Every structure is written in C-alpha cells, then in structure tokens.
Amino acid sequence: LIHIWDNKNKHKGNNNNITRQTSFGVTVRVHGTSQAVALRVLDIAINSFELLSSIMEIPLPLNKIDFILIPDYDGGMENWGHVLLSENLATYGDDAHLTYVIAHELAHHWIGNQATVDSWRWICLQVCEE
C-alpha cells in the first residue's frame, strides 16, 4: 500500500513529509501531497498525542509514529506505529471531525494495543464503530 501510494505521489512531484517531536520525544511524521494539509494534520496529531499520553498515563514504547494521507480513502485506520488517513478528510474536513478521527486512531495505540478491557461492560472502548 505504501509503495503504491509513494509511486503515485512521485509522479505528481509534490510529496511533502513534515516531522515534529512530542514533548516526550516521540517523532510524529506526516506524509502528504500538500504542505499546508500535512501541517494541519501534524498540529492536530501532536496535540492529540500529548493529551492522550497525559490521560492514559502509560507511555507508548514507540520512538515514532507516521500519518500517511491516502487519496481515495475514507476515514482512518491505525496500525502499530502508523495511521492511514483520508487525504480528502485532511484537506476538506472540518477541524472537529478531523480531530475526532486522528484522536480515535491514536487512542487505539493504547486501548487494544497496550491494554485491553477487563469486562464486556467496556467493550465499546475496544473497537468503536464510526
């Protein structure tokens, strides 16, 4: 998937990778086709990551996380160390919805990956339908 996406954007000649570190040293990188959109995602991702780290009080054993903006993709999907995100949502979505999707996918790095629920009562935290 990344290889196909990379080749598609190399032909466009406008691939932008923007990187910043959180206050606790995790590198957050956004791969996108527009610098302005990548910066928007990066700002929201850093703020969401900082807030979730504070709430969870469990550090993630990651030294980096990548956000990959995908054309013709809907919503978001997290995998350990990276998040796939709709380029359309990142470009045209309102701030509240984009923040929700980014925070939701980041939260899965803690809930479901680092910790799991101990009761069916909390199963809605494990995997939430959007």
Active site residues: 105
Q: What is the rounded distance in angstroms from the CA atom of residue 55 to the CA atom of residue 74?
A: 28
Task: Using only the alpha carbons of the chain, give its radius of gyration.
Answer: 15
SS3 content of the chain, % helix, strand, coil (to 5): 50, 25, 30
DSSP per-residue letters across 58-112: ---S-SEEEEEEETT--SEEEETTEEEEEHHHHHHS-HHHHHHHHHHHHHHHHBT
